[in-house]
């Protein structure tokens, strides 16, 4: 969604497939799409007028700078180069979006990727696309009813059951299983672990409840895409929280991962899962859930599954999907990354027995 050029075209293609084959194509929401709902509030005119000192850094990343700190670094660099500008002059929508992408969304190259995408869609040179047009594009794609990202979210689900298999973006682990969050969950560090809206034993009923949670959140976003007057809430906030592990107190089916020991049946995963220090911290500090790797290859490889074989479905120059197989033969570390160039991805030559168990419904 934001890790390379082609995102608008890719999302349009996926939505088109869903509309043409509604009973055969299923789309899932993830953190890279739900987190874009933030833009309409955080880049609004009202928020642009907000004092910089009042805007906190991202609650889930203690190492990230605040917007004010980010702009001060830019300002000091300009001063060093002999350019005299007031700090307030740097408080623009462009700089705010760049800050959000780099320090709160983890995709610092996305601003320029969008420039490339708009240039290709308009058949013009990239330098003909202005910075403000890029900001407008990000807002339009999520806010407007005909925006590509907005349409994707409207067509997607939190989870889907196909046959006897459950699909979701994140992980169904001991924290997320059966859990349905409350609709007024805030996108923030909660003062304490909130009780669930429901704990549902039936898989199909649970999935239905999660998908209704998504639809209700999108309806709330449609009605009020910006902050309310006292900034105590904003439309779609429950969905921003859904993809944020601390806000969910470690119960995010969108962003939880199999690398934290919740599902994988290996000694390494069991050590993580049963660590007494971790168990103690989970009861009092929701930030502890941000400390576990999101790439499931890490605990698997540390447990002896040293090789990752990729089967990749490509669209244009971007991977649509990556299927992973694990077998006990070492492979260079560079081959473990999903962003490995196509030319470096080894072609599967044999069928291997997966050294892990699958949860079947």
Query: What digits encode the pLDDT tens for the residues 178-236?
Result: 999 999 999 999 999 999 999 999 999 999 999 999 999 999 999 999 999 999 999 99
Query: What digits encode the pLDDT tens for the residues 132-182?
Result: 999 999 999 999 999 999 999 999 999 999 999 999 999 898 889 999 999
Q: Are 137 and 128 in contact (CB under 8 A)?
A: no
With a threshold of 0.85, does the pTM exceed it? no
Query: What digits encode the pLDDT tens for the residues 31-55?
Result: 999 999 999 999 999 999 999 999 9
Q: How confident is the model at residue 303 (pLDDT cuts 50, 70, 90)?
A: very low
Quick one: which H or E segment has residue 168?
strand 165-168
Quick one: which H or E segment has residue 318?
strand 318-327
Residue with tokens 């007028």, as numbered in its chain: 49
Tell which phi-psi region holds residue 236, choosing left (phi > 0), alpha (psi between -120 and 50) or beta: left
Is the model's pLDDT at 343 over the cut of 60?
A: no
Q: Are 121 and 316 in contact (CB under 8 A)?
A: no
């Amino acid at each position: 969604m934001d890790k390379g050029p082609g995102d608008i075209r890719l999302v349009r293609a996926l939505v088109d497939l869903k509309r043409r084959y509604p009973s055969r194509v299923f789309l899932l929401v993830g953190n890279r799409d739900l987190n874009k709902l933030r833009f309409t509030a955080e880049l609004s005119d009202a928020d642009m007028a907000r004092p910089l000192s009042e805007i906190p850094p991202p609650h889930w990343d203690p190492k990230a700078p605040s917007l004010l700190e980010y702009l001060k670094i830019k300002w000091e660099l300009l001063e060093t180069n002999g350019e005299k500008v007031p700090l307030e002059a740097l408080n623009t929508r462009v700089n705010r979006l760049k800050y959000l992408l780099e320090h709160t969304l983890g995709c610092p190259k996305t601003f320029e990727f969008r420039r490339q995408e708009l240039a290709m869609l308009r058949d013009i040179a990239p330098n003909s696309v202005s910075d403000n047009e890029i900001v407008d594009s990000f807002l339009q794609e999520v806010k407007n009813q005909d925006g590509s990202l907005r349409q994707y979210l409207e067509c997607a689900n939190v989870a889907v059951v196909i046959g006897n298999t459950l699909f979701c973006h994140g992980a169904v682990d001991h924290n997320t299983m059966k859990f349905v969050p409350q609709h007024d969950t805030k996108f923030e560090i909660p003062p304490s672990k909130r009780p669930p809206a429901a704990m549902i034993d039936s898989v199909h009923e649970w999935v239905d409840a999660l998908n209704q949670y998504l639809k209700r959140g999108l309806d709330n976003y449609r009605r009020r895409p910006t902050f309310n007057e006292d900034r105590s809430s904003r439309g779609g906030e429950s969905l921003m929280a859904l993809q944020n592990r601390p806000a969910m107190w470690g119960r995010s089916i969108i962003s939880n991962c199999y690398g934290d020991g919740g599902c994988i049946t290996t000694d390494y995963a069991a050590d993580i899962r049963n660590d007494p220090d971790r168990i103690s911290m989970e009861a009092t500090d929701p930030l502890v859930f941000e400390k576990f790797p999101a790439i499931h290859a890490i605990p698997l490889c540390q447990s002896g599954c040293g090789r990752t074989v990729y089967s990749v479905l490509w669209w244009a120059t971007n991977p649509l999907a990556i299927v992973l197989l694990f077998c006990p033969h070492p492979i260079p570390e560079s081959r473990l990354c999903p962003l490995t160039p196509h030319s470096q991805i080894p072609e599967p030559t044999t069928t291997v027995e997966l050294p892990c168990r699958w949860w079947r419904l």
